[in-house]
Structure 1
Amino acid sequence: MESIKGFISKKQIEIGQQNRLLESLPKITNPNNDDKDSEQQSKIAQQNTELDALKDSLKEKEKSRETLTSEIEELKQFKKKVELQEQSVEEFLKSHTEEAKEYNLDINKILKIKVDFSSIEEKILNSEKELEKINLFIGTVESTKARSADSNNESIVYKIKLLTKQLKAETDKLTGEEKAYQQNEQRKKSINEKIQELTGVPENPSLESLGFYEKEKEFINVHLQQLLKEKRKSRRAMLPHEIPGLLSP
């Protein structure tokens, strides 16, 4: 419980730091009349929206890559366990062959082992293929050799770099006041996104977010305690039946 309280305190401090950063930003108003964006600003806003969508997609793919990588490693470890068990049985057969012969018995007929790794290997292969697709989509260094020059523009990392470059070029066309306003708005957006990341979505908070640790705390304080209480109550109700005469005078 103490560790969860510590995590909650740490996240609250980090969120507080971001809020102070947000409050420290200068108050810059839109230099255009009626707070309407200029055509150039609107174009930049659209590009920022597209860039955010690409970054969100990249995050999702990176999560999928992490899950697949973990799954592949776990499958390989499981296969290794089966292989070790197979070796153990083979060693047993060898070490007891002569003993079985003393009774005119064939140890290999008494104990047989049949191992079929095809399903595990198929699962590993399919996961590795899916992982390679994700790497190609993301545009990782690991997938460079497998990716042709023509397909480089399909990489999401490439698209992000290209759009970022275009965005900078468009931003450079703004007037000094427009640029200051635009940069300040982007800074606000970035800080708010960080606060959201640290806080977590209430319905489904991400791991290591404040919401996640608060749900863990709630589970321990409320649900787990209730489960333990019900368990003790059930146990007490069963005691007289389990230990005859326990409650007899």
Structure 2
Amino acid sequence: MLHIIPTPIGNLADFTFRAVQLLQEVDFILAEDTRTSSVLLQHYNISKPLTPYHQHNEHKVSAHLVKQLQEGKKIALITDAGTPGISDPAYYLVRECIKEGVPVECLPGATAFVPALVVSGLPTNRFCFEGFLPLKKGRHTLLTTLTNEERTMIFYESPMRLVKTLAGMIGYFGAERLCSVSRELSKKFEENKRGTLQEVHDYFTSKTVKGEIVIVVAGRPGKSSKDQFQEDDAAEE
């Protein structure tokens, strides 16, 4: 079986008992960056062989890994932080396992966008996760499409590109659109800055930004979900 195991997004204490137990039982662990993962594993006294598995080698090694799983190996996949498959490698290996009838299990656990969404103060009943925006090709097309999105939108971004991305969002969504930027989630210097896109942009323009970034942006103002559901019900009748 392939075990997909979420890892803490910052605070090492945010690891489940079940995750530790499984990592102690598997034959070996696939890690996005073995150096980063070694810190976590040493913290929990887990001594299992580590094998690199990342976006640059997943197509090359997945067939061999599936074969090992078919032969009875028990393998765990972890990434640097959060849940594998959410803006991190996992999808390709999971798909190949399913094709070959290999069981796949994903443990519940840390994902950065969930706490960022909850503390944003923006609607949580309907949202869309966009991950990292394309750097060049497709960026304009995607943002243009999202100008009509009424659900709360969630993005990941690097600290180096945060201010530029916020400036770009002002151009597409408008300076007064509400947003929230979360960084260093679960760590000592966690910060959640809320306001309009313009206010949050200006705030981070004058700061040195560190840590992983989650941007949560309000959807386009429109009919409330309740009104929409009532109209849908009326149409069905």
TM above 0.5, one fold? no
Instruction: Give the TM-score taking structure 2 as reference length.
Output: 0.18
Structure with the larger strand share: 2
**Radius of gyration: which is bigger?**
1
Greater RCO, 1 or 2 (C-alpha within 8 Å, sep 6+): 1
Structure with the larger helix share: 1
Instruction: Give the TM-score taking structure 1 as reference length.
Output: 0.18
